[in-house]
Amino acid sequence: MRRRSAIAQKLRASHRRISQVRGVSNPRQIRNLALIGFMGTGKSTVGHLAAAHLRFELVDTDQLIEARAGRSITTLFATEGEAAFRARERQVMAELADRTGLVISTGGGLGADPENLASLKAHALVVCLWASAEVIWERVRHQSHRPLLQVPDPLERIRELLAAREPFYRTADVLMNTGLRQSREVAQQVVHQFFEARNNPPLW
Ligand code: S3P
């Protein structure tokens, strides 16, 4: 008995130490599920499926920004520029921090910002959906609503952006390759990870 409590004490002390290193005084709360990752990795589809399974509300940050602004992402980029769009994303992050029971599907650039990632990790399990540049290109090539890909060589642009964002995406709690999987299977895996994390919250 005494031995068990000594182990428990050690674990608590080590958790405290890690928390202090991270500058955090509370263990993580997993109240929501957040999906980050590049365009075309299936965040919206997987988000819908996972939300239905968990009976959570789905919040799509792009849709929320469009609804608030009364303008499409394309128009926002054209009229206000990318920096203003990123500020809108950060504002949405702050607003969602107190909510519970959400699946948050994010725009591709949102999860490549350390501030946004830290904000999400305070209340959500952060799952990054991953795919190679070639798979992404196949999925998005016939779509025209992505301002960052309106360039002469979109595949090259995807490669560049993906390489720049990869270090941030990798700091997600879970990294899931979606390349050869159906969205339904990805959603099942994501939901499974969510339940696991709720029982045993990951450290920062
Ligand atoms: C962006 C991805 C888009 C949207 C905007 C910028 C990005 O969202 O937020 O066009 O920087 O990668 P999706 O990932 O849902 O396409």
16-42 pLDDT, tens digit per residue, is: 554 445 545 567 899 999 999 999 999
Q: Given the CA of residue 147, which atom of ligand 1 is nearest to it?
A: 10
Q: How far is the CA of 203 from the centre of ligand 1 (A)?
A: 28
Q: Quick check: CB of 27 below 6 Å from ligand 1?
A: no
Q: For residue 43, with 0-12 CB atoms within 10 Å meaning exposed, 13-18 middle and 19 or more buried, which class applies?
A: buried
All structural domains of the chain: 29-199 (3.40.50.300)
Looking at ligand 1, which residue's alpha carbon is closest to its atom 8?
107
- Three-point CA angle 107, 111, 116, nearest 5°: 110
Place of tokens 């950060």: 90
Cα 136 to middle of ligand 1, angstroms: 12
The reported pLDDT for the residue numbered 180 is: 87
CA–centroid distance, 13 to ligand 1, in Å, is 41
Cα(202)–Cα(197) distance, integer angstroms? 6
Residue nearest to atom 3 of ligand 1 (CA): 107
pLDDT digits (tens, 9 = 90+) for 43-78: 999 999 999 999 999 999 999 999 999 999 999 999
Instruction: Specify the pTM.
Output: 0.88
For ligand 1, the distance from its centroid to the CA atom of residue 86, given in whole angstroms, is: 10
Say yes or no: CB of residue 39 within 6 Å of ligand 1: yes
| Residue in 131, 125, 143 with CA at minimum distance from that of residue 196 | 125
What is the gyration radius of the CA atoms in the chain, in angstroms? 18
Q: CA-to-CA distance for 154 and 149, rounded, in angstroms? A: 5
Q: How far is the CA of 109 from the centre of ligand 1 (A)?
A: 6
- Count Cβ atoms within 10 A of the Cβ of residue 196 and give its class: 0-12 exposed, 13-18 middle, 19 or more buried: middle
- The finding on whether 154 has its CB within 6 A of some atom of ligand 1 is no
CB 56 within 8 A of CB 103: yes
Q: Alpha carbon of 129 to those of 17, 24, 55, 142, 192: distances in Å?
A: 31, 27, 21, 21, 15
Alpha carbons 167 and 128: distance in angstroms, whole number:
12
DSSP 41: S
Alpha-carbon distance of 65 to 72, in angstroms, equals 8
At 76-114, the pLDDT tens digits run 999 999 999 999 999 999 999 999 999 999 999 999 999
Q: How confident is the model at residue 145 (pLDDT cuts 50, 70, 90)?
A: confident
Q: Are 84 and 76 in contact (CB under 8 A)?
A: yes
Q: Which two tokens stand for residue 145?
A: 């609503």
State in Å: Cα 199 to ligand 1 middle: 32
Q: Is the CB of 108 under 6 A from ligand 1?
A: yes
For ligand 1, say whether the CB of 139 is within 6 Å of any of its atoms. no
Q: Residue 204 has what pLDDT?
A: 84
Q: Is the pLDDT of residue 124 over 90?
A: yes
